[in-house]
Structure 1
Amino acid sequence: MNRFDKIFSFMLAVEGGYTNDKNDKGGETTWGVTKDEARRNGYNGSMKNLTQDFAKRILEKDYYLKNRLNEVKNDKVALSICDWSFNSGKWATKKAQVTLNRYFGYNLVVDGIFGSKTIKALNEVEEQGKSEEFLRDYHSIQRKFYHSIVEYNPTQKVFLTGWLNRVDRKEKYLKEMV
């Protein structure tokens, strides 16, 4: 299985099929793709009928390739950032930059854009054999981020356990990933 297929396989496991939770700011979603996102990508059918193949194309184009994760040497780092990006948008890339700055001594602009400096930093961390440390710190920041959402907007507390479980499932998947 190639890298992106591993990422998509994980996404399917954590996102599931169709949902329309009134408390979810994303509204109608299928395979993690929001209705607005599907429409921006040319899908006009019922969200209940959105195919996995269509969702896979969106994930690959808008999250994996757009964030240049295909240039990141470590598969686990690429999966982790792609997953959080799919779940929380630009916060994932900003927090990756924060992790690199805070824990690894970089001085990247925290803009959520993975330019050549951010990609180089992620790959240097891999070359130094510190990708596992990066993931530990990044996942810690991700958990804190979810708690801060609930602090800021208590109506989102209903999702907190699921968000935290997602990070736990991701860590388990990464440990088993070959």
Structure 2
Amino acid sequence: MTIDTLLDELIAREGGYVDHPADRGGPTNMGITLSVARANGFTGDMRRLPAATARTIYRQLYWDGPGYAAVAQQSMALAAELFDTAVNMGPGVASTFLQRALNALNRNQRDYPDLQADGAIGVRTHAALRAFRTLRGAAGDAVLIKAIEALQGERYLALAESRPANEAFLYGWLANRIG
């Protein structure tokens, strides 16, 4: 698996142009909202957003920017989960989920110190991830991913409960984003 494979899968899953009335993001194409497209220099009609532009935006904002390429050097499966979560919830949320999960799995700081769950993956987060993986191995990656997905699922439910219009998306979020 590579970032190019992840981008191909993501764009296929996100689909084409949508302007759902319950979606606060407004017009969206390949999962890229109008505001994100504009903030990244695209000024055209969202129906004509080029796939190359979507790929560039995804790679810069949701892979390189939050540091998931460096996570991939330790675990591509974990980086892929973080990337997908970041696309749907934002990189800060996805990275915070990783930090919270690492904190909860460190056996009261016996394995490595707690992290500040600030959503920024830096030296301390990488060190904690290395320590966790050294102790738990490949099986640990699966558990860490399950913990992140549990946090993600809880957030989806909370979003639907707090804004009934989000119920239109809950089934798809749970079906397509978790597991």
2:177 and 2:39 map into 1 onto residues whose CA distance is 28
Equivalent position of 1:97 in the other structure? 99
1:119-172: CA deviations, max 9, x gaps? 22233333331111101111111111100111221221111001001124xx3x
Q: Out of 161, 165, 168, which is 1:155 matched to?
A: 165
TM-score norm. by structure 2 comes to: 0.88
Q: Deviations over 1:84-115 (max 9, x none)?
A: 10111122121121111123345111111111
Match of 1:117 among 96, 119, 124: 124
Partner of 1:77: 78
- Return 5+ residue gaps in structure 2 as ranges: 108-112
Rounded to whole Å, the distance in 1 between the matches of 2:26 and 2:103 is 34
C-alpha distance in 2 between matches for 1:43 and 1:92: 25
Runs of 4+ in 1 over 2 A off after TM superposition: 103-106, 119-128
* Equivalent AA in structure 2 for residue 93 of structure 1: S
The structure with the largest alpha-carbon Rg is 2
Q: Mean alpha-carbon deviation: is it higher for 44-53 or for 127-136?
A: 127-136
Gaps of 5+ in 1: 172-178
> TM-score if structure 1 supplies the norm length?
0.88
Whole-angstrom distance in 2 between the partners of 1:104 and 1:11: 32
- Relative contact order (alpha carbons < 8 A, sep ≥ 6): 1 or 2 greater? 1
Q: Distance in 2 between matches of 1:149 and 1:119?
A: 30
Q: Kindly tell me: are residues 114 and 5 of structure 1, through their superposed partners in 2, closer, same or farther at Cα, counting changes over 3 Å?
A: same
Secondary structure of 1:113's partner?
coil
Contact 1:103 1:137 in 2 (8 A): no
Confirm whether residue 134 of structure 1 aligns to residue 144 of structure 2: yes
Task: Among all aligned residue pairs of Structure 1 and Structure 2, give the percentage whose two residues are the same amino acid.
Answer: 29
- Contact 2:96–2:120 (CA<8 Å) still a contact in 1? yes
Q: RMSD in angstroms over aligned alpha carbons?
A: 1.5
1:74–1:123 Cα contact (<8 Å) kept: no
Q: Is residue 84–residue 177 contact of structure 2 (8 Å, CA) maintained in 1?
A: no
- 1:161/1:95 CA distance change after superposition, 3 Å: same
* Counterpart contact for 2:20–2:26, Cα < 8 Å: yes
> Residues 12-70 of structure 1: CA distance to partner in whole angstroms, max 9, x if unpaired?
13211111111111111111111111111111111011111111111111110111111
Letter in 1 for 2:98: A
Contact conserved, 1:84 with 1:92, CA < 8 A, in 2? yes
Aligned length in residues: 168
How many Å apart are 1:10 and its aligned residue?
A: 2.2
CA distance in 2, matches of 1:26, 1:125: 37
Task: Give yes or no for the alignment of 1:62 onto 2:64.
Answer: no
Could you say which residue in structure 2 is the equivalent of 1:176? Answer: none
